[in-house]
Amino acid sequence: RKEVEQDPGPFNVPEGATVAFNCTYSNSASQSFFWYRQDCRKEPKLLMSVYSSGNEDGRFTAQLNRASQYISLLIRDSKLSDSATYLCVVNPYTGRRALTFGSGTRLQVQP
Amino acid sequence: DAGVIQSPRHEVTEMGQEVTLRCKPISGHDYLFWYRQTMMRGLELLIYFNNNVPIDDSGMPEDRFSAKMPNASFSTLKIQPSEPRDSAVYFCASSMTSVGEQFFGPGTRLTVL
């Protein structure tokens, strides 16, 4: 089983739609979680951290469910500029390991 | 700050040739990471350094790959000899901690013919 698993998509949604992505992680000891965004042929960039109580940044909401070992990202009122690949990132807190990146979920927002 | 700098941005080489990728991290960042990204395998961590010392190289695919960090402002990833299956985008990233936000360079797109 992969340490971090994501549905690769693509998710094709119309502008203005609400879309949600889930990500599961295998290590129950994981302590910190992030969502990164990667535009086509560009480098990944931090979108937001995910806190235990859940957190919101404008149209974006991140949630953590430790019992089921998944994190989610909700995007409301989708814009064309939201089209990108969203990477789920987990700190496995095992040995000397650093952050582990999921393979990403691709979102295409249609006009 | 200029951000993480990588060179070259594109590299096309023939199988068997040596390839050297270069990275300059953000000043003040103690951690430097090398990743490889392909469609099939996603983003894979190859190796990371803390204060110029390699900490985890378990992701380095085989002996053909080597990485060095001679000082706080420079790192190289070398592939010798290169093979077509090494074709990928190689990213360098730096951060202040091993588990904090990582800042990525623009990547080097490597094609091995």
Chain A hits for B99, CB-CB cut-off 8 Å, are 31-32, 91, 93, 98-99
- Say if B38 is an interface residue toward chain A (CB within 8 Å): no
**Residue B5 contacts A where some CB pair is shorter than 8 Å:** no
Q: Which residues of chain B have pLDDT under 50?
A: none
Tell me the mean pLDDT in the region A79-106: 88
Q: pLDDT tens-digit profile of A16-44? A: 999 999 999 998 888 889 999 999 999 99
Please, which residues bridge with residue A46 across strands? A36
Distance CA B36, CA B88 (A): 6
B-chain CB neighbours of A42 within 8 Å are 106
Q: What is the β-pairing status of strands A11-14 and A105-110?
A: parallel
Instruction: Tell me the two tokens of residue B57.
Output: 């190289």
Where does residue A107 fall: left (phi above 0), alpha (psi -120 to 50 degrees), or beta otherwise? beta
Beta strands, E only, chain A = 4-6, 11-14, 19-25, 32-38, 44-50, 55-57, 60-65, 70-75, 84-91, 100-101, 105-110
Question: What is the pLDDT, as a whole number, of residue A53?
Answer: 85
Could you say which residues from 51 to 110 on chain B have a Cβ atom under 8 Å away from some Cβ of chain A? 55-56, 91, 98-99, 101-102, 104-107
Chain B residues touching A97 at Cβ < 8 A: 56
Write the residue in B43, B99, B106 that is nearest to A87 by C-beta. B43
Count interface pairs A-B at CB distance under 8 A: 46
Note the pLDDT tens digit of each residue in A65-91.
999 999 999 999 999 999 999 999 998
Q: What pLDDT is attached to residue A87?
A: 96
pLDDT at A97 over 90: no
